[in-house]
Amino acid sequence: MQDPKNALGEVLTIPKLRLDQAIKNSEVKAEKHSFGRDPKQYYLYFAPTGSIKQRVIVYIHGGGWMSGSPSRYKYIGKKFSDMGYHTLSLGYRHAPIFKYPAQARDIFKGLFKGLKLLQSKGVNTDNIVVVGSSAGGHLGGILTYDKKLQEEFGLDNRMLRGLISLGGVLSFGVEYPATTQLMIEALFEKNFDRKTAEPISLADGSEPTKVLCIHAQNDPISAVENEKLFVDHVNLLKPKTAVSMIIRDEDIFHSNLVMGVFFEDPEESDPLKVMFRWIESLPFNKPGSTAREK
């Protein structure tokens, strides 16, 4: 059972996070590209600054599958671009109006379009790192593990070198707080087979993607047990594939990790130091070594 103090702590962190978000976003510019008729079907491209890294970051925002947008989290895209990465931030249609798999299909379509843009700019897209916050961690898991959608959209999963989940929902097989359970219920049609939308069920050990999960011990939204279950399962399928970082700071809950960590200095923040060092440690595909069928 969740500690009520954690839920209260989560609520109290939101006002300052929203203020910081508004201030930071006002300073950020990005290229916006639509890939559908719905206003949520777009992605933002952030060009790298400084020393350019040879990996592409694909960021997927959170919001309980019901809110949020790339524009709301522009400061996160800028954080990655400031570190030297070509960065795509993907939008998707929201529940409960649009039921799953609308969100997954949007993520795949947005990535497909975004990679075409990068390739037109001469960017090597053979080394992608997917980063997802909260519900975006779930959708990042779908991007990584859903073989049927990968085949449909012509995505060679050898391009997906890493998956980073920040407080993500990677398994539905644990006890979630009532508010989170309501969001999960709103995502699916009645009687939908949720195992077809669950990263832990889709993983089979054939994936070439390494995994880093960062989760707060006191998370009152996304139960930390779900992340532990996922990491253990992936490593059982293929040893040493997944690693986790559990934040035990009593003042870190959900939002001040999954979106708040990106306000911090990468040289001072332990989660960001771990994240960026892990990204640069990933195996590297030589240019042209993966197929691009579409």
Q: Which of 12-21, 179-188, 239-248 has the lowest mean pLDDT?
A: 12-21
pLDDT beyond 60 at 117: yes
Counting Cα atoms < 13 Å in the Cβ hemisphere of 20 gives: 15
Give the whole-angstrom CA distance, residue 253 versus residue 7: 8
**Residue 122 belongs to some domain of the structure:** yes
Task: Determine, yes or no, domain membership for 203.
Answer: yes
pLDDT at res. 132? 98
Residue 239: domain span: 4-281
Does some domain include residue 286?
no
How many percent of the chain have pLDDT more than 90? 93
pLDDT > 60? residue 292? no
Average pLDDT, the chain: 95
pLDDT digits (tens, 9 = 90+) for 221-262: 999 999 999 999 999 999 999 999 999 999 999 999 999 999
Question: pLDDT, tens digit, for every residue of 37-74?
Answer: 999 999 999 999 988 999 999 999 999 999 999 999 99
The reported pLDDT for the residue numbered 3 is 73
Any idea what DSSP says for residue 176? P
Q: What is the pLDDT of residues 71-84, one digit of tens each?
A: 999 999 999 999 99
Domain membership flag for residue 218: yes
In a domain, 119, yes or no: yes
Number of domains the chain is built from: 1
Instruction: Tell me phi and psi for residue 59, to 5 degrees.
Output: -105, 140
pLDDT of 124 > 70? The answer is yes
Residue 293 lies in a domain: no
Opening angle at CA 212, ends 41 and 184, nearest 5: 50
* Residues 217, 220: Cα–Cα separation, whole Å: 9
Q: Write phi, then psi, for 172 (nearest 5 degrees).
A: -95, 0
* Helix (H) or strand (E) run with residue 23 in it: helix 4-25
Question: Cβ distance 255 to 13 under 8 Å?
Answer: yes
Q: What is the pLDDT of residues 138-165, one digit of tens each?
A: 999 999 999 999 999 999 999 999 999 9
The verdict on residue 75 lying in a domain is: yes
Helices 102-120 & 135-145, crossing angle to 10 degrees? 70
Instruction: Please give the C-alpha separations between residue 280 and each of 150, 195, 271, in angstroms, as whole numbers.
Output: 25, 32, 14
Whether 68 and 29 have beta carbons less than 8 Å apart is answered as: no
- H-state helical runs in 64-193: 74-82, 102-120, 135-145, 147-152, 178-187
Q: What is the DSSP letter of 262?
A: G
pLDDT for 293: 38
pLDDT tens column, 188-210: 999 999 999 999 999 999 999 99
CATH at 212: 3.40.50.1820
